[in-house]
């Protein structure tokens, strides 16, 4: 199924004279989603703490593991059980994000090693000194020599937040589960793609979506194309180069929706970052005479949106956030949030301190009608 969808994306890009190859980040995103059983299962990652702990495990020298008690305590911190009674740590184990094994201390160099259950034996090879040492058969339960532990595996063992795969996976999950779920919106997605445009210029998207409202009374709705740039927690994550490549995609695909998604809170955005995104959003609001519509729709998603873990939770999450979030959502009918262009406008008001499209257009007209002084 996924292979067919990738082929569909590539055929569509070919029609536009664009060559595409899956990026390293795209491969990580694909592997994360496939491993845990599909986009809907990404809910297990909708926690900043869970992401941080998995990343710490991936960066633990040699073992990439946490002892069982530490794993359970750290992963389940501040997270209630699921409606089915499972803890978050139990869910991660069942989804094969981590694997059970045994940490053993090498008697030759005192380094700790991690071994799968299948690889255990009376004689073991140390991963650090490469010498053979004996399994501690006389003291198998003493924590000074052996410790049961969970280890991150596959894409989850990659450093730097799975090479950006976590943020891209969470962004896809946000659209498919919180926007598309139960809201009459069909979504088809692809992980990160490196694109060579007709002009020979290079561009990249960390995820791509096709979205289309379902037919009503036999009337087909237009398809929207979404290009996403996904970042983890870096303070100044969205650079000029990121903005420019997204602008290039908007120029290639007019009326597209450009999403800048990050797992960090909006309070952690740098002033320069906000300026860059606001300038792009202002450019996007410019009118495209050829297509009779504004150039592009810029959307900003923060950790507040990416870490929503229940169906239809965006309106509730914004309402609970209070302040401007609550004010905007109280004036918006929740089912309208599957209109991605409206959602883009709302995020611009929230995070880029911009007026609504209507207010912005009115201000522009008033300025043009004002007498010269």
pLDDT digit string, tens, across residues 124-147: 999 999 999 999 999 888 889 999
Identify the weakest region by mean pLDDT among 2-6, 117-121, 319-323, 334-338. 2-6
Name the band, by pLDDT with cuts 50, 70 and 90, for residue 271.
very high
Name the band, by pLDDT with cuts 50, 70 and 90, for residue 214.
low
Task: In whole angstroms, give the CA distance from residue 191 to residue 197.
Answer: 18
Residue 173 has pLDDT above 90, yes or no: yes
**What is the distance, to the nearest Å, from the Cα of residue 348 to the centroid of all Cα atoms in its chain?**
19
Angle between helices 165-173 and 48-58 (to 10 degrees): 150
Encoded tokens for 301: 């998603």
For residues 98 and 156, the answer to whether their CB atoms sit within 8 Å is: yes
Task: In whole angstroms, give the CA distance from residue 253 to residue 229.
Answer: 16
Nearest to 176 by CA among 187, 165, 161, 162: 187
Task: In whole angstroms, give the CA distance from residue 114 to residue 64.
Answer: 8
Name the band, by pLDDT with cuts 50, 70 and 90, for residue 331.
confident
Coil, helix or strand at residue 119: helix
pLDDT computed for residue 359 by the predictor: 74
E strand or H helix at 246? helix 240-252
pLDDT computed for residue 68 by the predictor: 96
pLDDT computed for residue 54 by the predictor: 98
pLDDT computed for residue 1 by the predictor: 44
More confident call, 297 vs 293? 297
pLDDT computed for residue 38 by the predictor: 94
For residues 111 and 124, the answer to whether their CB atoms sit within 8 Å is: no
In terms of Cβ atoms closer than 10 Å to its own Cβ (0-12, 13-18, 19+), residue 153 is middle
Identify the weakest region by mean pLDDT among 217-226, 281-290, 334-343. 217-226
Encoded tokens for 11: 């055929």
For residues 214 and 185, the answer to whether their CB atoms sit within 8 Å is: yes
Give the number of other CB atoms < 10 A from CB of residue 66.
Answer: 25
- Can you tell me the mean pLDDT for 318-330? 91
Does this model's pTM top 0.75? yes
Domain ranges of the chain: 44-95+98-152, 160-369
pLDDT tens-digit profile of 5-30?
556 677 778 888 899 999 999 999 99
pLDDT computed for residue 219 by the predictor: 53
The C-alpha angle with vertex 240 and arms to 237 and 241, in degrees rounded to 5, equals: 95
pLDDT computed for residue 363 by the predictor: 54
Identify the weakest region by mean pLDDT among 85-99, 231-245, 291-305, 328-342. 328-342
Task: In whole angstroms, give the CA distance from residue 281 to residue 295.
Answer: 10
């Amino acid at each position: 199924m996924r292979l067919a969808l990738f082929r569909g994306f590539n055929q569509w890009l070919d029609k536009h004279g664009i060559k595409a190859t899956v990026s390293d980040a795209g491969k990580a995103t694909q592997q994360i989603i496939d491993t845990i059983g599909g986009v809907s299962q990404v809910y297990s990652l909708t926690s900043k703490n869970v992401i941080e702990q998995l990343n710490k495990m991936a960066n633990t020298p040699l073992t990439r593991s946490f002892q069982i008690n530490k794993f359970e305590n750290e992963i389940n911190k501040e997270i209630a059980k699921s409606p089915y009674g499972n803890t978050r740590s139990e869910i991660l184990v069942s989804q094969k994000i981590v694997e059970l094994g045994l940490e053993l201390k090498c008697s030759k160099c005192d380094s700790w090693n991690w071994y799968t259950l299948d690889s255990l034996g009376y004689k073991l090879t140390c991963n650090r000194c490469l010498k053979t040492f004996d399994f501690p058969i006389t003291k198998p339960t003493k924590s000074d020599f052996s410790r049961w532990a969970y280890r991150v595996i596959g894409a989850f063992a990659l450093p730097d937040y799975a090479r950006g795969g976590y943020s891209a996976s969470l962004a896809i999950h946000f659209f498919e589960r919180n926007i598309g779920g139960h809201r009459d919106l069909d979504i088809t997605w692809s992980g990160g793609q490196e694109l060579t445009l007709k002009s020979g210029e290079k561009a990249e998207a960390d995820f791509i979506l096709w979205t289309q409202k379902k037919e009503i009374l036999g009337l087909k709705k237009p398809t929207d194309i979404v290009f996403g740039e996904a970042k983890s927690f870096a303070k100044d994550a969205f650079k000029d180069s990121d903005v420019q490549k997204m602008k290039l995609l908007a120029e290639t695909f007019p009326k597209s929706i450009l999403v800048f998604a990050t797992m960090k809170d909006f309070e952690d955005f740098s002033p320069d970052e906000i300026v860059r995104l606001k300038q792009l959003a202002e450019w996007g609001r410019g009118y495209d005479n050829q297509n009779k519509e504004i150039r592009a729709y810029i959307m900003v998603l923060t950790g507040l949106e990416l870490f929503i873990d229940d169906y239809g939770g965006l309106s509730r999450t914004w309402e609970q956030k209070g302040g401007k979030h609550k004010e905007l959502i109280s004036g918006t009918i929740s089912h309208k949030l599957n209109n991605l262009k409206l959602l883009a406008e709302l995020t611009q008001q929230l995070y880029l301190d911009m007026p609504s499209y209507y207010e912005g257009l009115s201000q522009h007209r008033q300025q043009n009608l004002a007498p010269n002084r």
